[in-house]
Chain A
Amino acid sequence: MSIILIDYGSGNLHSAKKALERAAALSNRADIIQVSADPDAIRRADRVVLPGVGAFADCKRGLTSTPGMLEALEEAVLKRGMPFLGICVGMQLLATRGLEHVTTPGFDWIKGDVALIQPQDASLKVPHMGWNTLSPRLDHPLLKDIPTGPNGLHAYFVHSFQFKPQHESEVLTETDYGGSIVAMVGRDNIVGTQFHPEKSQKLGLALISNFLAWRP
């Protein structure tokens, strides 16, 4: 199977690629992981991963600077149902709007806004940085065999902005940081993680393996 990791000038591609390769090897799969900025490569792929670090507006600009990129993604993911995984800002881009510094339109695949984290407890630091547990709202194939809840495995988060989906049904897991923060969103063939699976050791590799095996 061919998996495309979208290269649009965002850092961290190397780690994401290596984590995908390791997850594939651990599940005895012979997947080909390709880093590419070519819209045609997306159309030909079987699965697509959108990584992302940095600011919402920068990431959006980076993506749209490649002509045909958004159109290729919409065609593959929305029309043909290609499994999609967005990571961190790659997850936030699924929203209707990003409110980081300036208001920037997102893909609008999962209705909602991305807004600053404002913990109720003022002593809590922003960014929300470090390891936190996941509380599932729904059973999802990407969480298969992953221990969750307060005594479950941890995921690595580093973000100052949070996804606030309009439809509660599209929240897959949440985490607690002076209140609930959405940790995963999704519907149909689309999933996004606020945390970094490529940096989340056991939980991360298990989740990526589940993504590779996922048949939505």
Chain B
Amino acid sequence: MLKYRVIPCLDVKDGRVVKGVNFVDLRDAGDPVESAMAYDKAGADELCFLDITASHEKRGTILDVVQRTAEACFMPLTVGGGIKDIQDISKLLLAGADKVSIMTAAVNNRNFVKEAAEKFGSQCIVVAIDAKQTSPGHWEIFTHGGRTPTGLDAIAYAREVVELGAGEILLTSMDRDGTKSGFDLALTRKISDSIKVPLIASGGVGNLDHLVEGIREGHATAVLAASIFHFGEYTIRQAKEHMIEAGLPMRMD
């Protein structure tokens, strides 16, 4: 039986982790590779790096991070942030990423999703959606960390990118992100039920019940969280045990 996935996400800037992992004694909590190894050992089902490097000159730093992580961790790795063209994807995959997550480039040019899926296969093209509720039952896509509205309806957009070849959707509620009040379950369920590909729920996890809700009520097949894991509030194992107690099949290898 396929298991639900728990995915910790690390923000990486200029090759260093922002909000480094605090739950183990790392020699260098800012080293993404050490953090990745700690999560690998802790039983994470996948790992996600979000590259938030702003300066153009330092954009290459993520490739080195991905390469070193792939040398040390034999688990699936998704990398997102600042991907603009086919070349960017190609470099990340060759460095050892298994999936790439595209956001702004897909909003700006939907055909990019199609091109990427045709070139590399849908299985490695994740489209990231940052959405905010604009009126009851309506959510709009935002870019630039929730600052730039796009006028695009989140549900219609999700359907469209899946049609174009996205193999997975990473959905973040910008209303919930950082609030610790749980996923936006109505949004998550609406999108998950409208698409045939897996959905990763993100934004708002504050406790372990939230992870269960994301799957049971949001119909997500994976849950992504950052701070509850990085700061050692909960271990990956505790999260999975809690989900098993709630009746969800999880991997405990």
Interface residues of A (CB under 8 A from B): 11-15, 18-19, 22, 53-55, 58, 89, 124-133, 150, 153-154, 156-160, 176-177, 196, 198-205
Complex contact A19–B124 (CB within 8 A) = no
B120 touches A54 (CB 8 A): yes
Alpha-carbon distance A146/B164, docked complex (angstroms): 39
B93 x A12 contact (CB < 8 A): yes
The A-B contact count (CB < 8 A) is 112
Considering the complex, give the chain A residue whose CB is closest to the CB of B168: A129
CB of B107 to closest CB in A, whole Å: 23
A19 to B4, CA, bound (A): 24
Residue B154 at the A interface, CB < 8 A?
Answer: no
Contact of A150 (CB < 8 Å), options: B1, B90, B123, B167: B1
Q: Give the CA-CA distance A41 to B253 in the complex, in Å.
A: 37
* Residues of B close to A158: CB separation below 8 A: 76, 98, 123-124, 167
CA distance A156 to B98 in the complex (A): 11
28 A–B pairs (Cβ distance < 8 Å), ordered by A: A11-B90, A11-B93, A11-B94, A11-B120, A11-B124, A12-B93, A12-B98, A14-B67, A15-B70, A15-B96, A18-B70, A53-B123, A126-B197, A127-B168, A130-B3, A130-B5, A131-B5, A132-B1, A132-B2, A156-B76, A158-B123, A158-B124, A160-B167, A176-B2, A198-B74, A200-B74, A201-B253, A202-B253
Contact among A22, A53, A130, A201 with B120 in the assembled complex (CB-CB below 8 Å): A53
Known contacts A11-B94, A199-B75; is-contact A127 B124 (Cβ 8 Å): no
